[in-house]
Amino acid sequence: MFVDSECKFCGYRPCSVDAAICPRCGHAAPNPGIRSRVSGFVNEVISAASFLFIGAIFTAMAFALHPIAGIAVAAVFLLWSAWTVARALWYACDPTMSLLPAKRT
């Protein structure tokens, strides 16, 4: 099976799967493979869980000052965690990255 070896930023060929940077444009992860997508998703989910834990601590402290402050802090940390997970899911499922075999001409 051949994998499309082109940079998703500038279209440079060849750009190997799981390359650190593109040789032409210098962007990081120009053609990530399945392994780097899954590991990135797992790392982002762990980060989101830590945001929720830290958010619970800050929410308790803010709620002690004023209930509305506690609600506002909880909302910020919940939205931050949701954004982190949504961004990780998009990266893991990004249709612009190559998963399908390359077309042979």
Residue 98 lies in a domain: no
pLDDT band at 105 (very low <50, low <70, confident <90, very high): very low
Higher per-residue pLDDT: 68 or 3? 68
Which residues are within 8 A (CB) of 9 and not within 5 positions of it... i.e. 6 or more apart?
A: 22, 25, 27, 30
Spatial distance between the Cα atoms of 53 and 47, rounded to a whole number of angstroms: 10
Contact 76, 82 (CB under 8 A): no
Residue 100 lies in a domain: no
Residue 89 pLDDT: 84
pLDDT single digits (tens) 13-72: 887 777 778 888 887 777 777 777 788 889 889 999 999 999 999 999 999 999 999 999
Residue 101 lies in a domain: no
- Domain containing 63 equals 34-92
Residue 24 pLDDT: 83
Matching residue, tokens 């077309």: 103
Residue 101 pLDDT: 45
Residue 66 lies in a domain: yes
Q: In total, how many domains does the chain have? A: 2
Residue 94 pLDDT: 67
pTM assigned to the model: 0.64
pLDDT single digits (tens) 70-96: 999 999 999 999 998 888 888 777 655
Spatial distance between the Cα atoms of 79 and 90, rounded to a whole number of angstroms: 16
Q: Domain check: are 15 and 53 in the same one?
A: no
Residue 12 lies in a domain: yes
